[in-house]
Structure 1
Amino acid sequence: MNSRVTLGLAGLFLVGALIAGYWGLVLGRQPDPEPVAPPNVVTVSAPAVAAAPEEDPTRQPVVVLLRDVAPFVQITAADVALEKLRTAPAGSLSRLDQAIGRAPWRALSAGSWLNDESFESGGALARMIRPDERALAVAVDEVINAGGQLSPGDYVDVLLFLRSDVNNPQQSAQVVVPALRVLGVGEQLGLTNDGQPARPGLSNDDKLKQDQLRASARSVLLAVPEPLLSRLMLAAQAGVLRLAVRSAEEKRLAHYWAGESASSTNLASANRDLIQFNQLAMTPTPKPLATASRAVPRTPSVEVIRGNEITQQTP
């Protein structure tokens, strides 16, 4: 009896061991549960440290205005800053101490780069000509103004038409002054000698307005070499002027910026071609011929003959 009970208990324990082993295998095959993040916990990633940009050695410092500066007001350190440009403008200042403490002679707008000419006297027109040139305005209409198509930077020949009159028996047309540079048409001006706009800071609307008014301009500004100044003034009073535009292919504007001057050649050419106007040719007026002295009238006399003697006696 005791052996049967012992065998029954051994079988029961064997079945229980088999069930426990199977259950352990099933539980071992299940995936691990995902971890649950605790509530109200924000994960912040560390910011990446930006690498400092490498300075370009090809860029050059240029002094630039940060705000508008009125004439005769000294520039302070708060008015200027250094900007690195790949191509620095010719003659521009490269250090702040070159501008601080100096006072400009004209108004300077924000964003302008500074050079020595920023502190020199003279208006826009005076900075558009050389020392041996003069800026002279000529009255024009649509015909004289080449149909309203003249632009600053063009070169023109000044033609003169002389009508026949008592002092000019034959009408003529001639080139009085050749190859004059156009500085401005109406209110529109070209570039100064440093290559900058004579009137910087104009809005697009103002530029468009100037282009529209250029066709109806009533005056043209010309850069006249000093030796030819009086000739142009005489021509303007003597007859009718016309402006003939020269071809851009002559490259006269490029020669001007290169520093070349052809005023002496133009003067010799104009003197050779001028006709019937000695004052314009800058030659002395021919002196009138000296009048012949009048003969003294002879007093009538009577010839008296006395023998061998002959005498003249006045009655």
Structure 2
Amino acid sequence: MNSRVTMGLAGLFLVGAIIAGYWGLVLSRQPSPEPVAQPAFVPTTPTAQALAPVDDLTRQPVVVLLHDVPPFVAITAADVVLEKLRIAPAGSLTRLDQAIGRMPWRALTAGSWLNDESFEAGGRLARMIHSNERALAVAVDEVINAGGQLTPGDYVDVLLFLRMDSNNLQSSAQLVVPALRVLGVGEQLGLTNDGQPSSPALSNDEKRNQNQLRASARTVLLAVPEQLMSRLMLATQAGVLRLAVRSVDEKRLAHYWAGERDSSANLASANRELIQFSQLAMTTPPKPVATVASRKWSVEVIRGNEITQTP
């Protein structure tokens, strides 16, 4: 190869090496790009969520008891809480200031919602009957108690059997009072007029024991219309009672005596079907009139040795 060509190529390579080295030096002196700051991840905690709650407009506030409150003790702020319910009970309190400082007349249990009736006087039984009713206890045994199957809330017919005796000339069985509501069996009571349970919530063991006591109960509480109180009271003393349970399919039994339209007709029908006898009529049977034989008086007449009688 020609020496001149060789020298030209060597010079060309030298110039290229110088240019590459200069370019590499320039690039090494340029500042490195700053890293982009990533947003810090802040974990969401229940506390952070509680600071900004979202109100559910479909729920309504209701005042609920946190602790048991004994009677005649004022309710404090620590005893109540405001719960949001989808359906608020009728008449329930909606603000804490409506309950704080008020004094109940009876014991209130934790978990129950409050209304104005929670602070009115009257025991459990008095809040289970209406103004035209009276609560009357009837002594029962396993037979009268429908085999121990009666439950508060049932409706029963009161039947009476009378044996024949000197005051009752013939045996009779009749319906004394129909469609009476069972308020309680033994120590087990039903619901109050506002739909709340009259007794505090029970555990499973307590419910089992209460069911056993209900089966062997010796008393049944009945809601009796005021105008029929004396009749039922006399019937309990006159003869043997039976309680006949009525079907739940009779949906109008709750208005049998309290309804404005039918109660008077039902009362007239009960009075018309009642067999009148001395015990319920509060009268004694008529005494037989004693017949006194009339006594004839005569005058004895003596004529010589002849004696005659003249009227």
Is structure 2 residue 88 aligned with structure 1 residue 88? Answer: yes
Q: Percent identity?
A: 68
On the 8 A contact 1:70/1:107 being kept in 2, the answer is yes
Tell me the residue number matched to 2:41: 45
What residue number does 1:191 align with?
191
Preserved CA contact (<8 Å) 2:255 2:263:
no
Question: Is 2:59–2:85's contact at 8 Å kept on the other side of the alignment?
Answer: yes
TM-score of the superposition, structure 2-length normalised? 0.76
Alpha-carbon shift at residue 287 of structure 1 (Å): 5.9
Q: Please report how far the alpha carbon of residue 207 of structure 1 lies from its aligned counterpart in structure 2 after TM superposition.
A: 2.3
Q: Give the conservation status (yes or no) of the 8 Å contact 1:178–1:266.
A: no
Partner in structure 2 of residue 260 of structure 1: 259
1:224-243 Cα distance to aligned partner (Å, 9 max, x none)? 12222222222222221111
Q: Secondary structure at the match of 2:230?
A: helix
2:7 aligned with 1:9, yes or no? yes
1:109 shift after superposition: 1.7
Question: Which residue in the other structure is 1:135 paired with?
Answer: 135
CA distance in 2, matches of 1:23, 1:218: 114
The equivalent residue for 2:114 is 114
Matched letter for residue 198 of structure 1: S
Q: Does 1:235 align with 2:235?
A: yes
Aligned CA distance change for structure 1 residues 186 and 263 (closer, same or farther; 3 Å) = farther
Contact 2:105 2:120 in 1 (8 A): yes
Task: Please tell me the residue identity of whatever aligns with 1:103.
Answer: M
Distance 1:164 1:289, change over 3 A: closer
Q: Which moved more, 1:148-157 or 1:58-67?
A: 58-67
Stretches of structure 2 lacking an aligned partner (at least 5 in a row): 23-32, 302-309
Q: Equivalent residue for 1:57?
A: 57
Code of the aligned partner of 2:86: R
Q: Distance in 2 between matches of 1:244 and 1:198?
A: 25
Q: Aligned letter for 2:255?
A: H
TM-score w.r.t. the length of structure 1 is 0.75
After superposition, the Cα gap between the structure-2 partners of 1:293 and 1:189, relative to the gap in structure 1 and judged at 3 Å, is same
Paired with 2:20 and 2:138, the residues of 1 have a C-alpha distance of 116
Q: How many residues align?
A: 291
**Does residue 73 of structure 1 match 2:73?**
yes
SS in 1 for 2:83: strand
Q: How many angstroms apart in 1 are the aligned matches of 2:191 and 2:253?
A: 11
SS in 2 for 1:160: strand
Aligned to 2:249, what secondary structure does the other structure show? helix
What SS does the aligned partner of 1:269 have? helix
Alignment-mate amino acid for residue 245 of structure 2: V
Is 1:217 the counterpart of 2:217 in the alignment?
Answer: yes
Distance in structure 1 (CA, Å) of the matches to 2:18 and 2:204: 91
Q: CA deviation at 1:127?
A: 1.0
Contact 1:183 1:221 in 2 (8 A): yes
**Cα displacement string for residues 261-287 of structure 1 (whole angstroms, at most 9, x for unaligned residues):** 66644443333223352332x465566
Contact 2:168 / 2:278 at 8 angstroms: preserved in 1? no
1:241 aligned counterpart, secondary structure: strand
Partner of 1:176: 176
The answer for the alignment partner of 1:125 in structure 2 is: 125
